[in-house]
Structure 1
Amino acid sequence: MTRRIVIVTAVHAPSAPFLPDAYKSVCEQDLPDGWEWHWVIQEDGKTDQVAPHVPDDERVTFRQGRPGGPGVARMMALAHADGDYVKVLDADDQLAPGVLARDLAALEADASIGWATSRVLDLLPDGSTAGFPGDPQPGAIERGEVLAYWKANDFRAQVHPATLLVRRDLLLALGGWMALPASEDTGLLMALNATSRGWFSPEVGLLYRKWPGQATSQPSHTEAAERDARMAVVEARARSLADLQWRYPAEGQRLTGTS
């Protein structure tokens, strides 16, 4: 029986020209026997500017929908996420070699691990890469660790939400990405860390493209009042989940997606 990792990508017209690079990085992944990937690309809107950049591959599904931001697009893509695991890949980023197999191995080996992350390198406009300090120790990340670091370091987490591989049932149970104008992926990361153990791989798992058109480079992303509000609600949800003592896996839960 073949099992599947679903790669979920939100895209809009300005980032669509980067899809071929993302596709190349997906095709270069090696998965264990019995595993395959399915790439779901969801346009945030309905234009004629994205489809020409979508790879012609039966393993790729392309959908469109009314615009609502990347979190909404990813949520709509979940309707087609027919696999045990969901991997995040932004349209302008690239997977590093071997990351899917490493993430998968961590989650398949330990049913108490709900999600996996890995080291990130910034991919600069000239093609060079740059790292940054602050990675956690390799291996398991206990509940609350990411939230505590994020709160103590001006809302900057030591692991990157753009690198997440998540158990699909856990992702759905938490409601997916938060309904925020930005930081929706940070909101998911904090909810995951409040409820389940994670994993960090020190090998590079993602090339995070830096370019003028990306959402995080826009002035609105760092506008103080909105940023404070986003961070407040992200923290409040995570702490509420922790206070309610919701845990993954639940006691007696029959887990899927584990060997």
Structure 2
Amino acid sequence: MACLTQVVSVITPVHLPSIGYLADAYASLAAQDMPDGWGWRWLVQEDGRTGAVADALPDDPRISVGVGRPGGPGVARTLAMERVDGPLVKVLDADDQLTPGVLARDIATLTAHPSVGWSTSRVLDLLPDGSTVGFDSDPPAGPIACGDVHAFWLANDYRAPVHPATLCLRTDVLFALGGWMALPASEDTGLLLAASTITGGFFNAETGLLYRKWPGQVTSQAAHREPAEHATRMRIIERRVRALTALNTTITLS
């Protein structure tokens, strides 16, 4: 076995209703064909302290499990940051699945483009019957300039041109932004918008994620689209972007 010199930290928040999908998430991670010298660590963070998550995971030394007070997925993700080891952090929700080769593509992208701080991929919705549905509004493959995600988001009813559930970020970018926003939802959108304000990104047109649709999904609940709270979340994200822009905080990556 080759000696590992670089690690991608894959962060997964999980709450009790989604524990049953962890096996599929793990299988998709274990199937990744990593470039020479690279490996992954799976940082699974329970949004709570039941301890049930550890019992649902296989015995794999690459898995690290954490627990904490319930606070939602953004809090769980941010708590998992304490265990990050390596130059890159990949997002993987507990009920989603990576597609073959996506980690290698993320690594290749961020290695080949040193001025890029994050990468994303095409997404397919994974429906309950096992079928998948794609989208016809993906951006062109390639670099995404600072500010482009924000401009699209404003012009399209707060819908981003790329999916935050596919983010792979440089660790320094993630920590510079303080992790995920302390919001009850849309915290991943907030991170995407902030990252795309301070550094350019990249979109890979090859599918990188199967985004599971199921009745217990947090984003499928009525509360997720409750008008007053949704508007509040969007305004907070917008003010963060405008503040970062005003501070002229564009990062030069070395």
Give 2:178's match in structure 1, choosing from 175, 178, 184.
175
Mapped partners of 1:4, 1:30: distance in 2? 13
Give 1:235's match in structure 2, choosing from 223, 235, 238.
238
Gaps of 5+ in 1: none
Give 2:32's match in structure 1, choosing from 12, 29, 33.
29
Give the aligned residue type for 1:25.
Answer: S
Mapped partners of 2:59, 2:245: distance in 1? 44
TM-score normalised according to structure 2 size:
0.97
1:189 aligns with 2:192: yes
| Contact 1:54-1:62 at 8 Å conserved across structures | no
Mapped partners of 1:188, 1:182: distance in 2? 12
Mapped partners of 1:36, 1:123: distance in 2? 27
1:76 aligns with 2:79: yes
| Contact 1:120-1:205 at 8 Å conserved across structures | yes
Q: CA deviation at 1:81?
A: 0.5
Q: After the TM superposition, which residues 210-225 of structure 1 pair with which residues of structure 2 at under 5 Å, given as runs? A: 210-225=213-228
Structure 2 residue aligned with 1:2: 5
- SS of the equivalent of 2:118 reads strand
TM-score normalised according to structure 1 size:
0.95
Q: CA deviation at 1:19?
A: 0.4
Give 1:152's match in structure 2, choosing from 152, 155, 161.
155
Gaps of 5+ in 2: none
Q: CA deviation at 1:48?
A: 3.9
Q: CA RMSD in A?
A: 0.9
Structure 1 residue aligned with 2:106: 103
Q: Give the % identical residues.
A: 59
| Contact 2:51-2:67 at 8 Å conserved across structures | no
Q: CA deviation at 1:184?
A: 0.3
Deviations 1:223-246 (A, max 9, x none): 000000000110110121112110
- SS of the equivalent of 2:207 reads strand
Mapped partners of 1:137, 1:91: distance in 2? 28
Report how many aligned residue pairs link the two structures.
251
Structure 2 residue aligned with 1:45: 48
Mapped partners of 2:252, 2:210: distance in 1? 31
